[in-house]
């Protein structure tokens, strides 16, 4: 399937990006008006890792896809106790299905979820930190408006998916947003949110596009969904500005993993200044 063409604009500078972010209405710390996703290549779809694997394997039915998904969850459940504390394991087993998927996502397992963030600046980091020769993209989405366009009440989105999914036609394309109730340290610092689709085979483009109307704006408080393009020539400039805000691998990935990642960023920035 070809990607949906979202309303898009090319950012001419860091200042233009910051001005557009400032014009958005952010909502409250717990109920954001907008969520953001950064992708290092602007040609990539909004497609979860599991949906991509199933597509490449030519899995055709939702039922077959869900069987693969359930096997992955069962494998994670049966082996995780070798790698986590008893408290972490207890948290996992008491979590609802969506929260379990978000925990699996945190550790790199393929799920039907896509990572989003409440911070446009965190999204900008992920749009710029790799594939430096390609333009990146920052997706902006009004989560509540998109949920309603997909027939999901925003205040009940977590309960909706976990408890009602078995009664619904899961082959339909519906996309929603979810804030996990079980947050890791990394999810906290990255201000994590997730999008999900009822159909495990689906990307999230089509469900988000349901909320779009002709002439949908690319910025401002009435925005529904848009794609902001960061030219490849601006990626290092964005990373430099983000580091001045203390946004980089050193802050977004706690521990030695973050230190190692941050030194790669420093290498690129230092090399550009020589």
pLDDT tens sequence across 113-143: 999 999 999 999 999 999 999 999 999 999 8
Residue 7 forms part of a structural domain:
no
Alpha-carbon distance of 135 to 233, in angstroms, equals: 8
Cα separation, 17 vs 242, whole angstroms: 12
57 domain residue, yes or no: yes
CA neighbor of 135 nearest in space, from 38, 58, 220: 38
Q: How many domains does the chain have?
A: 1
Q: What is the pLDDT of residues 148-162, one digit of tens each?
A: 887 776 655 555 445
Q: If we measure between CA atoms, which residue out of 115, 123, 105, 119 comes closest to residue 32?
A: 119
Specify the residue for token string 């469900």. Answer: 207
Q: Is residue 64 part of a domain?
A: yes
Q: Is residue 194 part of a domain?
A: yes
Residue 21 lies inside a defined structural domain of this protein? no
Domain that holds residue 155: 35-269
224-236: pLDDT as tens digits? 999 999 999 999 9
Enter the DSSP assignment of 8.
E
């Amino acid at each position: 399937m070809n990607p949906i063409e979202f309303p898009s604009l090319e950012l001419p500078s860091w200042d233009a990006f910051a001005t557009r972010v400032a014009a958005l209405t952010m909502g409250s710390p717990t109920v954001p008006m907008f969520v953001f996703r950064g992708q290092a290549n602007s040609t990539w779809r909004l497609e979860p890792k599991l949906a991509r694997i199933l597509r490449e394997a030519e899995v055709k039915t939702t039922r077959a896809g869900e069987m693969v998904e359930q096997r992955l969850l069962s494998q994670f459940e049966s082996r995780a106790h070798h790698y986590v504390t008893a408290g972490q394991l207890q948290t996992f087993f008491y979590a609802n299905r969506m929260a379990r998927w978000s925990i699996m996502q945190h550790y790199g397992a393929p799920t039907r979820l896509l990572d989003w963030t409440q911070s446009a600046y965190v999204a900008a980091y992920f749009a710029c930190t790799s594939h430096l020769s390609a333009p990146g993209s920052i997706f902006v989405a009004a989560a509540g408006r998109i949920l309603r366009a997909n027939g999901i009440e925003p205040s009940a989105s977590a309960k909706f998916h976990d408890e009602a999914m078995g009664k619904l036609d899961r082959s339909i394309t519906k996309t929603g947003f979810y804030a996990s109730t079980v947050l890791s340290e990394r999810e906290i610092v990255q201000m994590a949110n997730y999008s999900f689709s009822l159909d495990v085979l689906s990307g999230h483009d089509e469900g988000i596009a349901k909320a779009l109307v002709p002439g949908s704006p690319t910025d401002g408080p009435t925005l529904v969904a848009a794609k902001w393009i960061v030219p490849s020539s601006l990626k290092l400039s964005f990373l430099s500005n983000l580091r001045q805000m203390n946004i980089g691998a050193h802050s977004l990935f706690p521990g030695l993993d973050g230190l190692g990642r941050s030194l790669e960023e420093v290498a690129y920035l230092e090399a550009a200044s020589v």
